[in-house]
A and B are shown apart, each in its own frame.
Chain A
Amino acid sequence: MAFFVGECRFPASRRHLATYQELSSFLAEVERRAYKHAMFALRDEHTALDVVQEAMLKLTEKYSGKPPFELPMLFQRILQNAIHDHFRRQKVRNTWTTLFSSLGPKGEDQGEDHDPLETLDLGADSNAASNPLARLTQTRTMATIEWALTRLPARQREAFLLRYWEEFDVAETAAAMGCSEGSVKTHCSRATHALAEMLKEKGVSL
Protein backbone atom coordinates (compact mmCIF):
# COMPACT_ATOMS: atom_id res chain seq x y z
CA MET A 1 0.00 0.00 0.00
CA ALA A 2 2.76 2.38 -0.87
CA PHE A 3 0.59 4.20 -3.34
CA PHE A 4 -1.62 6.71 -1.62
CA VAL A 5 -1.46 6.34 2.14
CA GLY A 6 -0.18 9.11 4.34
CA GLU A 7 -0.06 12.82 3.75
CA CYS A 8 3.62 12.88 4.59
CA ARG A 9 4.46 10.87 1.47
CA PHE A 10 3.06 13.57 -0.78
CA PRO A 11 4.86 16.84 -1.46
CA ALA A 12 2.68 19.92 -1.98
CA SER A 13 3.24 19.75 -5.75
CA ARG A 14 1.38 16.40 -5.87
CA ARG A 15 -1.66 17.60 -3.91
CA HIS A 16 -3.78 17.98 -7.00
CA LEU A 17 -7.31 16.66 -7.48
CA ALA A 18 -7.62 12.99 -8.36
CA THR A 19 -7.86 12.33 -12.06
CA TYR A 20 -9.97 9.60 -13.64
CA GLN A 21 -6.84 7.48 -14.11
CA GLU A 22 -5.78 7.93 -10.50
CA LEU A 23 -9.21 6.98 -9.23
CA SER A 24 -9.23 3.96 -11.50
CA SER A 25 -5.79 2.85 -10.27
CA PHE A 26 -6.77 3.45 -6.67
CA LEU A 27 -9.95 1.39 -6.94
CA ALA A 28 -8.13 -1.41 -8.76
CA GLU A 29 -5.57 -1.49 -6.00
CA VAL A 30 -7.96 -1.54 -3.06
CA GLU A 31 -10.92 -3.52 -4.41
CA ARG A 32 -9.77 -6.96 -3.30
CA ARG A 33 -8.79 -5.85 0.17
CA ALA A 34 -12.05 -3.92 0.45
CA TYR A 35 -13.94 -7.06 -0.47
CA LYS A 36 -12.09 -9.02 2.22
CA HIS A 37 -12.81 -6.28 4.78
CA ALA A 38 -16.50 -6.58 3.95
CA MET A 39 -16.38 -10.38 3.93
CA PHE A 40 -14.80 -10.54 7.39
CA ALA A 41 -17.57 -8.33 8.73
CA LEU A 42 -20.57 -9.57 6.75
CA ARG A 43 -19.65 -13.22 6.05
CA ASP A 44 -21.65 -13.29 2.84
CA GLU A 45 -20.05 -12.98 -0.57
CA HIS A 46 -22.93 -11.29 -2.38
CA THR A 47 -23.59 -8.81 0.41
CA ALA A 48 -19.87 -8.03 0.64
CA LEU A 49 -19.68 -7.40 -3.11
CA ASP A 50 -22.77 -5.17 -2.95
CA VAL A 51 -21.29 -3.17 -0.09
CA VAL A 52 -17.96 -2.71 -1.92
CA GLN A 53 -19.79 -1.57 -5.05
CA GLU A 54 -21.85 0.87 -2.98
CA ALA A 55 -18.66 2.27 -1.41
CA MET A 56 -16.97 2.62 -4.81
CA LEU A 57 -19.97 4.42 -6.28
CA LYS A 58 -20.15 6.79 -3.35
CA LEU A 59 -16.44 7.58 -3.61
CA THR A 60 -16.63 8.42 -7.31
CA GLU A 61 -19.93 10.30 -7.00
CA LYS A 62 -19.20 12.42 -3.95
CA TYR A 63 -15.46 12.56 -3.43
CA SER A 64 -13.86 12.40 -6.87
CA GLY A 65 -12.82 16.02 -6.45
CA LYS A 66 -10.53 15.20 -3.54
CA PRO A 67 -6.73 15.00 -3.78
CA PRO A 68 -5.40 11.44 -4.29
CA PHE A 69 -3.74 11.19 -0.89
CA GLU A 70 -7.13 11.57 0.81
CA LEU A 71 -8.72 8.70 -1.11
CA PRO A 72 -7.62 5.74 1.08
CA MET A 73 -8.95 7.34 4.25
CA LEU A 74 -12.18 8.46 2.59
CA PHE A 75 -12.75 5.09 0.99
CA GLN A 76 -12.21 3.23 4.24
CA ARG A 77 -14.64 5.53 6.05
CA ILE A 78 -17.23 5.04 3.32
CA LEU A 79 -16.71 1.28 3.37
CA GLN A 80 -17.01 1.03 7.15
CA ASN A 81 -20.14 3.21 7.09
CA ALA A 82 -21.64 1.02 4.36
CA ILE A 83 -20.98 -2.08 6.49
CA HIS A 84 -22.52 -0.44 9.55
CA ASP A 85 -25.52 0.70 7.50
CA HIS A 86 -26.02 -2.85 6.31
CA PHE A 87 -26.07 -4.11 9.89
CA ARG A 88 -28.53 -1.37 10.86
CA ARG A 89 -30.86 -2.28 8.00
CA GLN A 90 -30.53 -5.96 8.86
CA LYS A 91 -31.40 -5.23 12.47
CA VAL A 92 -34.57 -3.38 11.45
CA ARG A 93 -35.50 -6.19 9.01
CA ASN A 94 -34.92 -8.83 11.68
CA THR A 95 -37.07 -6.91 14.16
CA TRP A 96 -39.98 -6.95 11.69
CA THR A 97 -39.32 -10.58 10.77
CA THR A 98 -39.40 -11.74 14.38
CA LEU A 99 -42.57 -9.74 14.95
CA PHE A 100 -44.39 -11.62 12.18
CA SER A 101 -42.71 -14.99 12.31
CA SER A 102 -41.00 -17.07 14.94
CA LEU A 103 -38.98 -18.92 12.30
CA GLY A 104 -36.51 -16.09 11.57
CA PRO A 105 -33.47 -16.27 9.30
CA LYS A 106 -31.52 -18.67 11.52
CA GLY A 107 -31.09 -21.24 8.77
CA GLU A 108 -29.25 -18.74 6.56
CA ASP A 109 -26.95 -17.44 9.23
CA GLN A 110 -23.65 -19.23 9.43
CA GLY A 111 -23.24 -17.70 12.86
CA GLU A 112 -20.52 -18.24 15.39
CA ASP A 113 -20.12 -21.92 14.58
CA HIS A 114 -19.13 -21.34 10.98
CA ASP A 115 -15.76 -22.87 10.31
CA PRO A 116 -14.32 -22.18 6.84
CA LEU A 117 -11.89 -25.06 7.33
CA GLU A 118 -14.79 -27.46 6.94
CA THR A 119 -15.66 -26.07 3.52
CA LEU A 120 -12.16 -25.27 2.40
CA ASP A 121 -11.86 -24.75 -1.34
CA LEU A 122 -8.36 -25.73 -2.35
CA GLY A 123 -8.89 -24.52 -5.90
CA ALA A 124 -7.24 -25.79 -9.04
CA ASP A 125 -3.91 -24.03 -8.72
CA SER A 126 -1.10 -25.59 -10.73
CA ASN A 127 1.34 -25.14 -7.78
CA ALA A 128 -0.71 -27.66 -5.85
CA ALA A 129 0.59 -30.36 -8.12
CA SER A 130 4.25 -29.37 -7.65
CA ASN A 131 4.10 -29.04 -3.85
CA PRO A 132 0.69 -30.09 -2.63
CA LEU A 133 1.60 -30.30 1.06
CA ALA A 134 3.03 -26.77 1.19
CA ARG A 135 0.06 -25.52 -0.76
CA LEU A 136 -2.36 -27.23 1.57
CA THR A 137 -0.61 -25.84 4.65
CA GLN A 138 -0.63 -22.33 3.21
CA THR A 139 -4.28 -22.53 2.25
CA ARG A 140 -5.23 -23.87 5.68
CA THR A 141 -3.25 -21.14 7.41
CA MET A 142 -4.90 -18.49 5.24
CA ALA A 143 -8.34 -19.90 5.89
CA THR A 144 -7.69 -20.12 9.63
CA ILE A 145 -6.51 -16.50 9.75
CA GLU A 146 -9.58 -15.34 7.83
CA TRP A 147 -11.84 -17.40 10.09
CA ALA A 148 -10.14 -15.94 13.19
CA LEU A 149 -10.65 -12.42 11.83
CA THR A 150 -14.37 -13.03 11.42
CA ARG A 151 -14.50 -14.06 15.09
CA LEU A 152 -12.92 -10.82 16.34
CA PRO A 153 -15.16 -8.06 17.73
CA ALA A 154 -15.95 -5.61 14.90
CA ARG A 155 -13.96 -2.65 16.28
CA GLN A 156 -10.89 -4.78 16.98
CA ARG A 157 -11.00 -6.26 13.49
CA GLU A 158 -11.48 -2.83 11.94
CA ALA A 159 -8.53 -1.37 13.87
CA PHE A 160 -6.28 -4.34 13.11
CA LEU A 161 -7.01 -4.31 9.38
CA LEU A 162 -6.70 -0.56 8.96
CA ARG A 163 -3.55 -0.29 11.04
CA TYR A 164 -1.63 -3.29 9.78
CA TRP A 165 -3.15 -4.29 6.45
CA GLU A 166 -3.98 -0.85 5.04
CA GLU A 167 -0.83 0.47 6.74
CA PHE A 168 -2.58 3.51 8.19
CA ASP A 169 -0.71 5.08 11.09
CA VAL A 170 -2.40 5.33 14.49
CA ALA A 171 -3.75 8.85 13.86
CA GLU A 172 -5.17 7.91 10.46
CA THR A 173 -6.76 4.76 11.87
CA ALA A 174 -8.30 6.80 14.67
CA ALA A 175 -9.66 9.31 12.16
CA ALA A 176 -11.06 6.58 9.92
CA MET A 177 -12.72 4.83 12.88
CA GLY A 178 -13.88 8.01 14.58
CA CYS A 179 -12.21 7.19 17.90
CA SER A 180 -9.15 8.22 19.91
CA GLU A 181 -5.60 7.08 19.17
CA GLY A 182 -5.53 5.36 22.57
CA SER A 183 -8.58 3.30 21.58
CA VAL A 184 -6.88 2.30 18.34
CA LYS A 185 -3.82 1.05 20.23
CA THR A 186 -6.00 -0.88 22.66
CA HIS A 187 -8.11 -2.43 19.88
CA CYS A 188 -5.00 -3.39 17.90
CA SER A 189 -3.29 -4.95 20.88
CA ARG A 190 -6.39 -6.91 21.88
CA ALA A 191 -6.97 -8.03 18.29
CA THR A 192 -3.38 -9.25 17.95
CA HIS A 193 -3.56 -11.21 21.21
CA ALA A 194 -6.95 -12.70 20.35
CA LEU A 195 -5.74 -13.72 16.86
CA ALA A 196 -2.57 -15.30 18.27
CA GLU A 197 -4.65 -17.23 20.79
CA MET A 198 -7.15 -18.48 18.20
CA LEU A 199 -4.41 -19.53 15.77
CA LYS A 200 -2.61 -21.35 18.57
CA GLU A 201 -5.81 -23.20 19.44
CA LYS A 202 -6.12 -24.29 15.81
CA GLY A 203 -2.49 -25.42 15.75
CA VAL A 204 -1.37 -22.73 13.31
CA SER A 205 2.02 -21.10 13.82
CA LEU A 206 3.21 -18.17 11.75
Chain B
Amino acid sequence: MTDLREEEFAKRVTQHLDAGTADLRQGTAYRLQLARQAALARLAETETATAGDHGGGGLLRLGGPRSRVGDWRFWVSVGVLMAALVSYYQWTEYQNLRELEEMDAALLASDLPIEAYLDKGFHNWLKHSE
Protein backbone atom coordinates (compact mmCIF):
# COMPACT_ATOMS: atom_id res chain seq x y z
CA MET B 1 0.00 0.00 0.00
CA THR B 2 1.50 3.35 -1.03
CA ASP B 3 1.47 6.39 1.27
CA LEU B 4 -1.34 7.93 -0.77
CA ARG B 5 -3.45 4.79 -0.59
CA GLU B 6 -2.72 4.53 3.12
CA GLU B 7 -3.99 8.06 3.63
CA GLU B 8 -7.05 7.45 1.48
CA PHE B 9 -7.83 4.28 3.44
CA ALA B 10 -7.30 6.08 6.76
CA LYS B 11 -9.59 8.88 5.60
CA ARG B 12 -12.39 6.41 4.86
CA VAL B 13 -11.86 4.73 8.22
CA THR B 14 -12.09 8.03 10.06
CA GLN B 15 -15.26 8.96 8.14
CA HIS B 16 -16.86 5.84 9.62
CA LEU B 17 -15.45 6.72 13.04
CA ASP B 18 -17.04 10.17 12.79
CA ALA B 19 -20.35 8.52 11.95
CA GLY B 20 -19.82 6.29 15.00
CA THR B 21 -19.39 9.27 17.32
CA ALA B 22 -22.55 10.86 15.91
CA ASP B 23 -24.44 7.64 16.68
CA LEU B 24 -23.37 7.54 20.33
CA ARG B 25 -26.01 6.23 22.74
CA GLN B 26 -27.96 9.00 24.40
CA GLY B 27 -26.97 7.87 27.89
CA THR B 28 -23.29 7.97 26.98
CA ALA B 29 -23.62 11.38 25.33
CA TYR B 30 -25.40 12.65 28.43
CA ARG B 31 -22.67 11.37 30.74
CA LEU B 32 -20.06 13.04 28.56
CA GLN B 33 -22.00 16.27 28.79
CA LEU B 34 -22.10 15.94 32.59
CA ALA B 35 -18.36 15.28 32.67
CA ARG B 36 -17.76 18.42 30.61
CA GLN B 37 -19.99 20.49 32.85
CA ALA B 38 -18.19 19.19 35.95
CA ALA B 39 -14.82 20.12 34.44
CA LEU B 40 -16.04 23.61 33.53
CA ALA B 41 -17.58 24.07 36.98
CA ARG B 42 -14.18 23.23 38.49
CA LEU B 43 -12.63 25.84 36.21
CA ALA B 44 -15.12 28.44 37.43
CA GLU B 45 -14.31 27.48 41.05
CA THR B 46 -10.60 27.83 40.39
CA GLU B 47 -11.08 31.24 38.80
CA THR B 48 -13.21 32.42 41.73
CA ALA B 49 -10.62 31.19 44.21
CA THR B 50 -7.87 32.94 42.27
CA ALA B 51 -9.85 36.18 42.27
CA GLY B 52 -10.34 35.78 46.04
CA ASP B 53 -6.61 35.30 46.39
CA HIS B 54 -5.88 38.60 44.72
CA GLY B 55 -8.42 40.26 47.02
CA GLY B 56 -6.28 39.25 50.01
CA GLY B 57 -6.44 35.89 51.72
CA GLY B 58 -5.12 34.77 55.11
CA LEU B 59 -1.43 35.20 55.66
CA LEU B 60 -0.69 31.54 56.12
CA ARG B 61 -3.19 30.11 53.66
CA LEU B 62 -1.24 27.34 51.98
CA GLY B 63 -2.22 24.78 49.34
CA GLY B 64 -4.41 27.19 47.38
CA PRO B 65 -4.80 27.04 43.64
CA ARG B 66 -1.69 29.13 43.23
CA SER B 67 1.68 28.76 44.95
CA ARG B 68 2.40 31.31 47.72
CA VAL B 69 6.15 31.02 47.28
CA GLY B 70 6.35 34.33 45.38
CA ASP B 71 4.07 36.15 47.83
CA TRP B 72 5.98 38.55 50.19
CA ARG B 73 3.28 38.18 52.86
CA PHE B 74 3.99 34.46 53.00
CA TRP B 75 7.68 35.12 53.68
CA VAL B 76 6.90 37.83 56.27
CA SER B 77 4.71 35.38 58.18
CA VAL B 78 7.42 32.71 57.98
CA GLY B 79 9.91 35.28 59.37
CA VAL B 80 7.59 36.23 62.25
CA LEU B 81 7.09 32.57 63.09
CA MET B 82 10.83 31.90 63.09
CA ALA B 83 11.50 34.98 65.30
CA ALA B 84 8.84 33.79 67.77
CA LEU B 85 10.42 30.33 67.95
CA VAL B 86 13.91 31.74 68.53
CA SER B 87 12.59 34.12 71.22
CA TYR B 88 10.82 31.30 73.03
CA TYR B 89 13.97 29.15 72.96
CA GLN B 90 16.10 31.97 74.35
CA TRP B 91 13.57 32.77 77.08
CA THR B 92 13.49 29.13 78.31
CA GLU B 93 17.29 29.01 78.25
CA TYR B 94 17.42 32.20 80.34
CA GLN B 95 14.92 30.73 82.83
CA ASN B 96 17.02 27.58 83.20
CA LEU B 97 20.11 29.69 83.78
CA ARG B 98 18.27 31.74 86.43
CA GLU B 99 17.25 28.58 88.30
CA LEU B 100 20.82 27.31 88.28
CA GLU B 101 22.10 30.65 89.57
CA GLU B 102 19.56 30.65 92.40
CA MET B 103 20.53 27.12 93.35
CA ASP B 104 24.25 28.00 93.36
CA ALA B 105 23.57 31.09 95.46
CA ALA B 106 21.56 29.05 97.96
CA LEU B 107 24.36 26.50 98.23
CA LEU B 108 27.01 29.11 98.72
CA ALA B 109 24.91 31.03 101.25
CA SER B 110 24.04 27.98 103.36
CA ASP B 111 25.90 27.14 106.61
CA LEU B 112 26.96 23.73 105.31
CA PRO B 113 30.29 23.52 103.51
CA ILE B 114 30.06 22.46 99.83
CA GLU B 115 32.11 19.30 100.57
CA ALA B 116 29.16 18.04 102.67
CA TYR B 117 27.01 17.70 99.52
CA LEU B 118 29.71 15.54 97.93
CA ASP B 119 29.83 13.16 100.90
CA LYS B 120 27.80 9.92 100.42
CA GLY B 121 27.27 9.52 104.14
CA PHE B 122 25.64 12.93 104.30
CA HIS B 123 23.20 11.94 101.50
CA ASN B 124 22.30 8.73 103.40
CA TRP B 125 21.77 10.69 106.59
CA LEU B 126 19.48 13.15 104.69
CA LYS B 127 17.41 10.24 103.30
CA HIS B 128 17.05 8.52 106.73
CA SER B 129 16.24 11.76 108.49
CA GLU B 130 13.30 12.33 106.06
Contacts and interface: CB of A to CB of B under 8 A. Distances in A.
A184 interface: no
Nearest to B32: A31
The interface centre, meaning the residue of B9, B35, B44 with most chain A CB atoms within 10 A of its CB, is B35
A27 B39 CA distance: 9
B114 interface: no
A56 B39 contact: yes
Interface residues of B, number: 33
B16 A56 contact: no
Contacts of B47: 20
A23 interface: yes
Contact of B12 (A28, A59, A206): A206
Chain B contact surface mostly: helix
A193 B1 CA distance: 8
Given A24-B40, A53-B35, A60-B42, A145 B16 contact: yes
A195 B23 contact: no
Nearest to A185: B3
Contact of A36 (B7, B12, B20, B42): B20
B19 A28 contact: no
Interface string A128-153: 00000000001101100110000000
Interface size class of A (residues with CB under 8 A): 35 or more
A32 B21 contact: yes
A114 to B, nearest CB: 17
A162 to B, nearest CB: 11
A78 B7 CA distance: 26
Contact of B36 (A27, A138, A192): A27
A164 interface: yes
B11 A142 contact: no
Nearest to A192: B6
B43 A64 contact: yes
Interface in B1-33: 1, 6-7, 9-14, 16-17, 19-25, 28-29, 31-33
Interface of B: 1, 6-7, 9-14, 16-17, 19-25, 28-29, 31-33, 35-36, 38-40, 42-44, 46-47
Interface of A: 20, 23-24, 27-28, 31-33, 35-36, 45, 49, 52-53, 56-57, 59-61, 64, 121, 123, 125, 138-139, 141-142, 145-146, 160, 163-165, 188-189, 192-193, 195-196, 206
Given A35-B24, A36-B21, 5 more contacts: A27-B39, A32-B32, A138-B19, A142-B16, A145-B17
